[in-house]
Amino acid sequence: MEFVQGGELFHYVEECRGLDEKETVYIFRQIVAALLYCHRLHIHHRDLKPENILLDRDNAQVKLVDFGMAALQPEGKQLTTACGSPHYAAPEVIRSRPYDGAKADVWSCGVILYVMLTGTTPFNYTSENNIASMYHAIALAEYYMPPELSFAAKDLLRKIFNPRPEKRISMDEIWDHPLLHKYDHEFGYEGELAKKDAWIGPVPKIEQWTVTREEDIDKEIVRNMRTLWHSVPHHVLVQKLLSKQ
């Protein structure tokens, strides 16, 4: 287990009552890069929130944690389980409809970005703790846009908070958005370091796969895989592990 000095991003933002844009971008870029890596492997977190992001306060480096609700979404398929924290859930998730895990993660990222910039969540309970009213606001993407935010920040938030997932900005498009590169020169992100591949690395490859018998498969590995392939039967996972493809 890895120890991260500094605790949760949630506590840091709460103590600071929101972060300035430059610090927000520095942290948010790392979150987006981590999710791009996960999504490339078809793994979707589904419970993104500042409490599940650990921050090393000495160097402002972050790590995503708590993949307990994460799921693997095969290409061409959709997810069906409604999960995650209500304040950070996408409209399609709270409606309990099949959804694209990547676009649901995008929405949650938008809430995290808003929280870092403002110190509060965009969608909240009423004074009577009426969760239905909050869900209504999420479904319609009704929220307050602070006028003091920069044009780039407002533009990105609007593109993320689109209640129609097919119209919502993608994670790759978030990376390319001007807000994420507004401070590249000041951060020293130039040349190769400014490119997306430098942040998410090469596509992982398995070479010389030699497992040909079920008894050679580590049962603990299969159990861990079942946490991502929630709906795939055990024998199907075994067949895939034994496949040369």
Confidence at residue 241, expressed as pLDDT on a 0 to 100 scale: 82
Element at 153 (helix H, strand E): helix 151-160
Question: Is pLDDT above 60 for 126?
Answer: yes
Residues noted as catalytic? 47
Query: Domain 9-200 adopts which CATH fold?
Result: Transferase(Phosphotransferase); domain 1 (1.10.510)
How many percent of the chain have pLDDT more than 90?
Answer: 65
Average pLDDT, the chain: 91
Residue with tokens 């979707």: 44
d(CA 11, CA 17): 10
CATH 1.10.510.10 residue window(s) in the chain: 9-200
Annotate 122-132 with b (16+ C-beta within 10 A) or e (fewer): bbeeeeeeeee
Report the chain's C-alpha Rg in angstroms: 19
213 torsion bin: left (phi>0), alpha (psi -120 to 50), beta (else): beta
Digit-coded pLDDT (tens) for 64-85: 999 988 888 888 889 998 888 9
Annotate 158-179 with b (16+ C-beta within 10 A) or e (fewer): ebbbbbebeebbbbeebbebeb
Q: What does pTM read for this prediction?
A: 0.87
Residue 55, SS3 per DSSP: strand
Residue 165: phi and psi, rounded to 5, are: -60, -30
Digit-coded pLDDT (tens) for 38-51: 999 899 999 999 99
Residue 53 forms beta bridges with which residues?
A: 64
Residue 3 CB-half CA count within 13 A: 1
Cβ neighbors of 107 (< 8 A, separation 6 or more) are 88, 89, 90, 91, 160, 161, 165, 168
Confidence at residue 19, expressed as pLDDT on a 0 to 100 scale: 98
Digit-coded pLDDT (tens) for 158-212: 999 999 999 999 999 999 999 999 999 999 999 888 889 999 988 777 777 778 8
